[in-house]
A and B are shown apart, each in its own frame.
Chain A
Amino acid sequence: MTLEIEKTSQKTTLKSPLKSWGGFVFGMMILGIVARLISADDYYNSLVNAGLLFGGLAVAWNILGGYCGQFSFGHAVFVGIGAYSVALTKTDQNWGTIPGIILGIMISIAVAIAISWPLFRLRGSFFAIGTLAFSEVALSLALYFTWTKGALGIQIPFDRLPTVDQKIWLLVFFAYLVFCMGASLFLIRGRLGYYMISVRDDEATAAASGINPLTIKTIAFAISAALTSLGGSLYVLYLGNLDPRAFLSTLEIGAFIPLLALIGGLGTLFGPFLGALFLEPGQMYLRGQFAGSLAGISQGTVGIILILAALYFRHGFWGALQQFGRWALRIVKGGNK
């Protein structure tokens, strides 16, 4: 099944100042200050935390989905691997936090490489269906085995958590987002990023120019999985409790992360985290506001935004912003003449 891939980010030239390290540092500084200012009390702080974490996850997913054009609905598996690695080593083995996180990243990379061979033989929708099936297998296995504590999940003892201070978590999640963004920027400024984009835009031509598409996709998958696993580890340490049905959920994690990236702007540096930053806290806020009166309004709204985004804003928030910027620039320039 050959696919005509919509060229999502063709308009952003690689020379754009937004893709320089200076622009990146500036953007992150502004984000950090805004995030800190909004987080005046614990409730808003928790909203911002979720936004930053899911922002990082969306950016990590975007490396494979946005730049390499492989739509995985199975990234919940890597969130799960990261979470289980930390939670199990902490409760059963008395490990520290960092070794658990590193273990999770190692396993995620190994799993990503192992399933690359079968999954990347599938294209387009079939790849997406394959990753979805992969995610469901992971969930049923996590529920089945006794060493994963089955459907009960894992409760990390309170005194084994590194910190429960929301303010510190704000810093941690901010650092995670910056790390994911930095990794993305580093990738797309380098040779590998060009390879990934060329595989996405035209696999046959990329292969003809001497790039091995499978290798490039596998590398992108491994990097994306490693960053996602890190996010999963942080998430379980933040919540303190691992519910397999939540962490390995297709609708709340596996399909939700790509949706955040899409709504923000697929295949762009800032788009995915922008989408997450608005949507994740936004839906949590709606859930809080309408709790008890209108169940389902938050996710229903997400669904409507999603359909509208697919229909009218295929380049996402970020694309709309860029369009607005160009339009404003034209107005300003016109005014000077």
Chain B
Amino acid sequence: MDLAIVLSSGLLIGGIYAFIAIGLNLIFGVVRVANFAQGEFVMLGMFVTYLLQTNLKLDPYISAWLIIAPLGFILGALVYILVIRRLLDDHYMQMFATFGLIFVFQNLVLSLSRGEAKQTQSVVAGKTINAFGVDVSIPRLIILLSAIAVALLLIQFLNRTIVGTAMRAVAQDQKTSTLMGINSNQIYILTFGISIALAAMAGALLTPSYAATTEIGFGFILPAFAVVVLGGLGSVKGSLVGGILIGVIEGLAGYLLDPQLKQAVWFTLFLIVLVIRPNGLFGKSVKGGMLA
């Protein structure tokens, strides 16, 4: 029975990784920016959700959809317009700028929160349901289900709508798609907006089960990159499956070896995949990384 518990908890952690990785992968695949600050938007989402609950008595699951996601979209669009847009030609400066964002957001929140950890309350917080003899934490189950829902919605959006198709076109070949009359600047704004909105939403959904600290965001960024590499650049489906895979591997490594070594195990795996299959399990090619 132990193994079932390990697998289920790995699955639930994987849901968190997948949720964060989907947004990261969208930026990476479409705009070609390795956004090291993605985790900080998760962290910001957590703290704003906390503020909304203490001041307006809003349940995190309501504010995630109604307030956090739109705010995240606006913030993402602003970050793109003010910073990233000017650096599109220079990958190294992008990395530096996103590290600058990490320093700014972490320390902004640190000075406002005075370094205290914050956690929100919800009717489901701390509750579990019993499925096949295994206790499953409801807040984490909600995240996993939300990640799956978001991935499915995003795939539909990318494949079925004209804007989504334009996004895929820009991801494939920005210059040619511009010649075809697609405004790649608008597509990039939209991509950043959606991606940061997802990150912030992930943060909001995390608050009932995780305490918000200023460093929590940076802790998520490497698992998320590992998921992106494993699942393939620009592949939403890959991010979902990769996230769950990384979560399960982490759980198993913690169970079979030592909980402290779980990171080392999947980082090593990440390095191996990065070297052997740089396109990931679902990515078609790094250069023309396909979406969905």
Seen from chain A, the residues whose Cβ lies within 8 Å of a Cβ on chain B are 1-6, 71, 118, 121-122, 124-126, 128-130, 132-134, 136-137, 140-141, 143-144, 250-251, 255, 258-259, 262, 266, 294-300, 302-307, 309-311, 314
Contact = CB atoms under 8 A, between A and B. Distances in A.
A144 B261 contact: yes
Given A126-B274, A295-B110, A303-B103, A310 B115 contact: no
Contacts of A262: 96
Contacts of A128: 34, 95
B3 interface: no
Interface in B241-271: 258, 260-261, 263-264, 267-268, 270-271
Contact of A251 (B91, B101, B102): B102
B222 A133 contact: yes
B222 A311 contact: no
Given A136-B267, A140-B263, A6 B89 contact: yes
B286 interface: yes
B57 to A, nearest CB: 28
Contacts of A297: 107, 111
Interface in B98-119: 99-111, 114-115
Contact of B218 (A140, A250, A296): A250
Interface in B214-244: 214, 218, 222, 225-226, 229
A307 B225 contact: no
A295 B260 contact: no
Nearest to A117: B275
Contacts of A4: 89-90
Nearest to A122: B274
A192 B61 CA distance: 58
Nearest to B103: A303
Contacts of A259: 96, 99-100
B65 interface: no
Nearest to A143: B260
A76 to B, nearest CB: 14
Nearest to A297: B111
A309 B90 CA distance: 13
Given A133-B270, A144-B261, A306-B99, A311 B83 contact: yes
18 contacts: A1-B286, A3-B91, A125-B91, A125-B94, A130-B271, A137-B267, A250-B218, A295-B107, A296-B107, A296-B108, A296-B111, A298-B107, A303-B99, A306-B99, A309-B100, A310-B94, A310-B96, A311-B97
A6 B101 CA distance: 21
B96 A306 contact: yes
B218 A251 contact: yes
Given A144-B261, A311-B87, A299 B97 contact: no
Interface of B: 34, 83, 86-87, 89-97, 99-111, 114-115, 214, 218, 222, 225-226, 229, 258, 260-261, 263-264, 267-268, 270-271, 274-275, 278, 286-287
A258 B109 CA distance: 24
A71 B268 CA distance: 20
A298 B115 CA distance: 15
Contact of A311 (B86, B102, B111): B86
Contacts of B258: 144
Question: Which 9 pairs across A and B sit closest by C-beta, in order of nearness?
Answer: A303-B103, A296-B107, A306-B100, A300-B107, A296-B110, A303-B104, A125-B34, A307-B100, A310-B97
Instruction: Name the residue in A133, A134, A266, A298 with the highest tally of chain B Cβ atoms < 10 Å from its Cβ.
Output: A133
B286 A299 contact: no
Nearest to B99: A255
Nearest to B97: A310
Contacts of B111: 294-297, 300
Nearest to B86: A311
A266 B102 CA distance: 21
A128 B229 CA distance: 13
Contacts of B96: 258-259, 262, 306, 309-310
A304 B100 contact: yes
A129 B273 CA distance: 13
Contact of A133 (B109, B226, B287): B226
